[in-house]
């Protein structure tokens, strides 16, 4: 009986990991692929793995996997090989590789076969998921910022409206409370509009409806709105009596100017002067919004128009997702213009952008 059982057992197939059919299969697999044994020795690999780790074939084959991959003489603590050996089942892990600075999805699976000298073989596949992790991080940060930014104006709106219903409150106090609620509602509307513009950023150029527009009219409307909304600030216009018309989408340019003036109001001292200036520069109209705020450091200027970025120091405590400037960049570039900032700490800031002139041709 015992002899029959032993006779029925099949020895694991002996595999030549250097055989063309095996090396060809490895090359066809996506990501980085290694064949290793139970002693963490690398038996075979594909081109993608050799390139990502910058190692020649002669240096990687037969090498100690922890040394080759992680630069360590010891087995990496997160390595699932021992677990795979014990369970006989594939194990998948997400790991951060400090050597390369990448997030990797690592899977080790047992192979039905052994090397000619009897060592077990395991298929180790590695997929770079750094981009996915970065996207998840941005999403989490974005949701956190949106929740935080929504909470403050909503609290003001709810509190103001509840207080306005208090019996015996004066008409003057009710009007002040309603103004606070309206201002906060306006902030929410602007934030939603900026989010919509950014969500359309990839194909926004196709949505631009160009028409012949007088920029002076747009500037006057925005200045008038902010002079009523923020009487402690003085919004001034500095431009010729007659400017050349521009070829733009009026609603988009109003959003650009509104975002930039709103930004200047937020970060200017109470009662500061904000200037909207415009002049012709070749075939473009150059617009500049100047404030008397605290200015922006060179380091902050480098990341100023990036999505979801907020400035350091005192600006981080102010309302705003940092989406307004990102939306400005997307809208200006959709018109074929450019946008930049000129600023020094303590000397205010100049936000400058260009828009194309209207041509009858």
CA distance 319 to 188: 11
pLDDT at residue 308, rounded to an integer: 52
Element (H, E) at 343: strand 339-343
Q: Please compute Rg for the chain using Cα positions.
A: 32
What is d(CA 284, CA 246) in angstroms, rounded to the nearest whole number?
8
CA 164, distance to chain mean position in Å, is 40
Determine phi and psi for 74, rounding to 5 degrees. -115, 155
Q: How far is CA 243 from CA 42, 196, 199, 210, in A?
A: 71, 31, 33, 18
Q: Tell me what pLDDT residue 291 has.
A: 92
Q: What is the pTM of this model?
A: 0.58
Distance CA 126, CA 80 (A): 12
Q: pLDDT tens, position by position, for the chain (361 residues)?
A: 444 444 445 667 788 888 888 888 888 887 788 898 998 888 888 887 777 677 666 668 888 888 877 777 888 776 788 889 888 899 998 878 777 788 888 889 998 888 888 899 999 888 888 888 887 877 777 777 677 777 878 888 999 999 998 898 899 999 989 988 988 888 788 778 777 777 776 666 557 889 999 999 999 999 998 888 888 899 999 999 889 999 999 999 999 999 999 889 888 877 789 999 999 999 999 999 999 888 888 888 877 877 654 433 334 444 454 678 888 888 999 999 999 999 988 888 999 999 999 987 6
- Which pLDDT score, from 0 to 100, does residue 318 have? 43
Compute the distance between CA of residue 309 and CA of residue 80 in angstroms, rounded to an integer. Answer: 38
Q: Give the separation between CA 22 and CA 259, rounded to whole angstroms.
A: 60
Two tokens, residue 80: 């699932």
Going from the C-alpha of 247 to that of each of 135, 220, 244, 336, 356, the distances in angstroms are 36, 18, 10, 10, 6
The answer to whether 21 and 36 have CB atoms below 8 angstroms apart is no
Q: 82 in the Ramachandran plot: left (φ > 0), alpha (ψ -120 to 50) or beta?
A: alpha
Report the distance separating Cα 32 and Cα 125, nearest Å: 6
pLDDT at 267: 81
- Please state the separation of Cα 3 from the chain's center in Å: 66
- 333 near 249, Cβ under 8 Å? no
pLDDT at residue 179, rounded to an integer: 86
Residue 188, pLDDT score: 83
Cβ neighbours for 132, distance < 8 A, ≥ 6 positions apart: 103
| SS3 (DSSP) at 233 | coil
3-state secondary structure of 231: coil
CA distance 308 to 323: 6
């Amino acid at each position: 009986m015992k002899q029959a059982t032993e006779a029925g057992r099949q020895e694991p197939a002996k595999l030549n990991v250097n055989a063309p059919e095996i090396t060809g299969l490895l090359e066809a697999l996506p990501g980085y692929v290694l064949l290793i044994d139970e002693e963490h020795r690398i038996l075979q690999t594909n081109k993608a793995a050799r390139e990502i780790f910058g190692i020649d074939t002669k240096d990687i084959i037969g090498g100690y996997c922890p040394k080759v991959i992680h630069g360590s003489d010891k087995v990496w603590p997160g390595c699932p090989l021992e677990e795979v050996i014990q369970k006989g089942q594939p194990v998948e892990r997400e790991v951060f590789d400090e050597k390369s600075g990448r997030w990797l999805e690592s899977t080790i699976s047992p192979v039905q076969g052994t090397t000619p000298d009897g060592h077990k073989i395991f298929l180790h596949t590695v997929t770079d998921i750094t981009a996915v992790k970065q996207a998840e991080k941005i999403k989490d940060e974005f949701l956190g910022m949106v929740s935080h930014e929504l909470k403050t104006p909503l609290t003001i709106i709810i509190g103001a409206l509840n207080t306005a219903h208090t019996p015996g409150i004066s008409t003057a106090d009710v009007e002040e409370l309603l103004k606070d609620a309206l201002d906060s509602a306006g902030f929410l509307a602007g934030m939603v509009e900026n989010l919509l513009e950014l969500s359309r950023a990839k194909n926004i150029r196709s949505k631009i409806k160009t028409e012949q527009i007088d920029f002076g009219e747009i500037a006057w409307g925005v200045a008038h709105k902010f002079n009523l909304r923020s009487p402690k600030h003085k919004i001034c216009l500095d431009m010729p009596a007659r400017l050349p018309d521009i070829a733009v989408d009026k609603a988009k340019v109003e959003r650009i100017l509104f975002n930039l003036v709103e930004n200047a109001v937020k970060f200017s001292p109470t009662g500061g002067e904000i200037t909207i200036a415009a002049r012709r520069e070749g075939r473009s109209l150059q617009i500049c919004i100047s404030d008397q705020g605290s200015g922006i450091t060179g380091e902050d200027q480098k990341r100023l128009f990036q999505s979801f970025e907020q400035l350091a120091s005192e600006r981080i405590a102010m309302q705003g997702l940092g989406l307004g400037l990102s939306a400005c960049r997307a809208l200006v570039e959709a018109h074929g213009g450019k946008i930049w900032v000129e600023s020094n700490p303590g000397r205010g800031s100049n936000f400058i952008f260009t828009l194309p002139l209207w041509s009858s041709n």
